[in-house]
Amino acid sequence: MDPDLATRIDALLPQTQCTKCGYAGCRPYAEAIAAGTAAINHCPPGGDEGVTRLARLLGRAPLPLDPANGAWRPPRVAVIDEAACIGCVKCIQACPVDAIVGAARRMHTVIASWCTGCELCLPPCPVDCIALVPVAGLPSAKRSRERHEARASRLAREAAESAARLASLE
């Protein structure tokens, strides 16, 4: 796999990190495309326009968006019905860009300007207090990629700190 090609493909993806393509995020999907193991038409948030950009980069014919991965939708962001929120933190744990803030057993809220509309917060919510609402646009792909990478770094750091604390107890 050509890492430079994967980076150029990743730059064309919308960075919603929604996993609808069947991969754990936009970068793994880009790497699979670069390796020739994934088709270019599995990204619903990118829509037909995204498929066309990928086809142009790779010198391929555009394909219709694969309906098995979902349909393109206009930009939407999550909104939490704060009166119904029970503070379970499951939505916070699911958000790939840390756009949901709150504390355990306290109300949560979404920072709309960070939300990618990935929908990953919907399934874990036990009280169905999250809805998606239309917006004019989503954050830039660059900003969403940076937020996703920052979250991954934070989670890795927290895991290492936890492992070090456990090791010190032995």
Backbone angles phi and psi of 103, in degrees to 5: -130, 160
The token pair that represents 51 in the structure block: 């498929």
Residue 89 β-bridge partners: none
Condensed to tens digits (0 to 9), the pLDDT of residues 92-142 reads 999 999 999 999 998 899 999 999 999 999 999 999 999 999 999 999 999
77-110 burial by CB neighbour count: b if 16+ within 10 A, else e?
Answer: bbbbeeeebeebbbbbebbbbebbebeeeeebeb
Q: Rounded distance, CA 97 to CA 10, Å?
A: 16
Backbone angles phi and psi of 20, in degrees to 5: -65, -20
Query: Cβ neighbours of residue 123 under 8 Å, at least 6 residues apart?
Result: 94
Q: Rounded distance, CA 57 to CA 69, Å?
A: 22
Q: Are strands 130-134 and 76-80 parallel, antiparallel or unpaired?
A: antiparallel
Condensed to tens digits (0 to 9), the pLDDT of residues 70-98 reads 999 999 999 999 999 999 999 999 999 99
- Domains of the chain with bracketed CATH: 3-69 (1.10.15.40), 74-158 (3.30.70.20)
pTM over 0.75: yes
